[in-house]
């Protein structure tokens, strides 16, 4: 007896449907629907609202926080050059976090109902609807929750003066990541660096999903051997 394949109804809220795809879920999310208008996730207007974020909310909310935590380090005696070096370290740390999360968490293989559902909310929705402009940046509520354990961890690992500056660097790196990510999907860059980044990232979406995990930089792809080769990209296309 052959089991009937589950069909997702795109006219209904998706979140609690996608789990039923089972082992076919991974194949389904990598068949993108290129449309600026995103799907509905939940029946509830409240939960639906929490999944949608305009891109400019990210710098508006988090850049003042960056300035505040850097001012803490300054009040504790660090000089501007010292803070600058620590922020640079924090940004570099973020680029590694960006790569690691994207590769090992966002692209984890799932097949059970709840694992598929959680993955779709986390990253699967972005691969299925890559141009959904209201789900390209991370919701501020979720970011705020994650910052609490990060703040505590940094205070365990660093001094009271350096911990705020490290957090400021990581948070600044995150803001640049989210803005860059949005721009790579919706902008039309003319500057060579951003033209390359756009091509690099869209290659990850539409050609080789298991390579090219860096968004703001290909540095860690080069370090860890996940840089997509030109010949492989041409073959997949």
**Mind listing the pLDDT tens digit for each residue in 193-224?**
999 999 999 999 999 999 999 999 999 999 99
- Parse the chain into domains and list their residue ranges: 14-224
CB atoms within 10 A of CB 81: 8
For residue 91 the two structure tokens come to 């940004």
CA dist 120 and 137 (Å) reads: 15
User: Which phi-psi region, left, alpha or beta, contains residue 152 (left: φ > 0; alpha: ψ -120 to 50)?
Assistant: alpha
The pTM for the full model equals: 0.91
pLDDT(15) > 80: yes
Among 91, 230, 115, which residue's Cα sits nearest to residue 173?
Answer: 91
The mean predicted confidence, pLDDT, of the chain is: 93
**Mind listing the pLDDT tens digit for each residue in 89-114?**
999 999 999 999 999 999 999 999 99
Which 3 state secondary structure label does DSSP give 206? helix
Which 3 state secondary structure label does DSSP give 8? coil
Among 189, 182, 173, 205, which residue's Cα sits nearest to residue 135?
Answer: 182
């Amino acid at each position: 007896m052959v089991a009937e394949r589950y069909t997702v109804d795109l006219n209904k809220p998706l979140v609690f449907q996608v789990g039923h795809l089972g082992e076919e879920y991974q194949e389904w999310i990598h068949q993108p629907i290129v449309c600026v208008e995103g799907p509905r996730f939940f029946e509830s207007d409240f939960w639906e609202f929490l999944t949608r974020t305009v891109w400019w909310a990210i710098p508006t909310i988090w850049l003042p926080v960056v300035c505040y935590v850097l001012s803490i380090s300054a009040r504790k005696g660090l000089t501007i050059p010292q803070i600058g070096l620590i922020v640079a370290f924090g940004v570099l740390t973020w680029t590694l976090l960006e790569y690691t999360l994207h590769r090992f968490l966002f692209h984890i293989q799932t097949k059970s109902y709840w694992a598929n559902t959680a993955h779709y909310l986390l990253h699967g929705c972005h691969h299925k609807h890559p141009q959904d402009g209201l789900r390209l940046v991370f919701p501020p509520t979720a970011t705020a929750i994650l910052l609490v354990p990060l703040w505590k961890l940094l205070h365990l690992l660093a001094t009271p003066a350096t911990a705020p500056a490290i957090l400021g660097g990581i948070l600044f790196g995150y803001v640049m990541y989210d803005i860059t990510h949005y721009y790579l999907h919706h902008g039309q860059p003319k500057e060579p660096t951003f033209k390359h980044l756009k091509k690099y990232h869209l290659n990850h979406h539409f050609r080789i999903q298991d390579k090219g995990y860096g968004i703001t930089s290909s540095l860690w792809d080069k370090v860890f051997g996940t840089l997509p080769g030109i010949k492989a990209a041409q073959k997949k296309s």
